[in-house]
Amino acid sequence: MKKLLLAVIVSLSTVSTASLAEIKVGIILGFTGPIESLTPAMRDGARMAFDEASNSGNLLGGESITILEADSTCVDSAAATAAAEGLVADGVTAIMGADCSGVTGAINANVAVPNGIIMVSPSATSPGLSSVPDNGTFWRTAPSDAKGGQVLAKLALSRGIESIAVTYTNNDYGKGLAEVFEKSFASGGGDNYGFCFSRRW
């Protein structure tokens, strides 16, 4: 992920190294909301990569990266979009994030595409994002649930599980993963007793 994110940011730079004083990048993750316990480590990993590039002295002739952070909330698309708009207003050229699939799609459609801002998500796995209109702005380092659901189904079947009830969180992530799992499990010979969702994490 580290190499991909840095490569994308460097390739996006449209100004000369002589005139570039700094490269601003945004980190937008759910610092509040249902995955707030996970995001500090995700943020710290990105910061480590950015700091390593800045401290190397080799980035675009010795330029440095300035990191700006924003909260996606994971669940509130309007708040996430507003936060991303704030990052763009502050001059970021790329965004690490977002995290949850719903807010990631909203930021891509409403902020990244209109402004030509690259996004690299470490965790937005909805299959729907594979075909979202993005003009090349959206990338991710985690596999789509279209693959993850297949792997989970194969694992369940390999353990001799022949019937299963599926419950999932009623959001883009939960629904996408559950549907792929159900289809893959059934195609492998398994039976589903039920398919229901929970409203909250």
Reported as a single tens digit per residue, the pLDDT across 142-166 is: 999 999 999 999 999 999 998 888 8
Domains of the chain: 2-140 (3.40.50.2300), 145-198 (3.40.50.2300)
Q: Tell me how far CA of residue 139 lies from CA of 9, 73, 75, 142, in angstroms.
A: 12, 20, 20, 9
Widest CA span of the chain, in angstroms?
64
Query: Could you tell me where the DSSP H helices lie in the chain?
Result: 2-12, 39-56, 77-89, 101-107, 113-115, 145-158, 172-187
Amino acid making up residue 38 = L
* pLDDT value, residue 14: 43
Burial readout 162-192 (b: 16 or more C-beta within 10 A, e: otherwise): eebebebbebbbbbbbbbbbbebbeeeebee
- Please state the pTM of the whole predicted model: 0.78
> Could you count the other beta carbons within 10 Å of the beta carbon of residue 56?
10
Residues whose CB is less than 8 angstroms from the CB of residue 151 and which lie 6 or more positions away in sequence, other chains included: none
As a whole number of angstroms, the distance between CA 118 and CA 64 comes to 18
Q: What is the pLDDT confidence band of residue 19, given thresholds at 50, 70 and 90?
A: very low
Q: How are strands ordered across the β-sheet holding 118-121?
A: 65-71, 23-29, 94-97, 118-121, 138-140
**What is the average pLDDT across 83-94?**
98
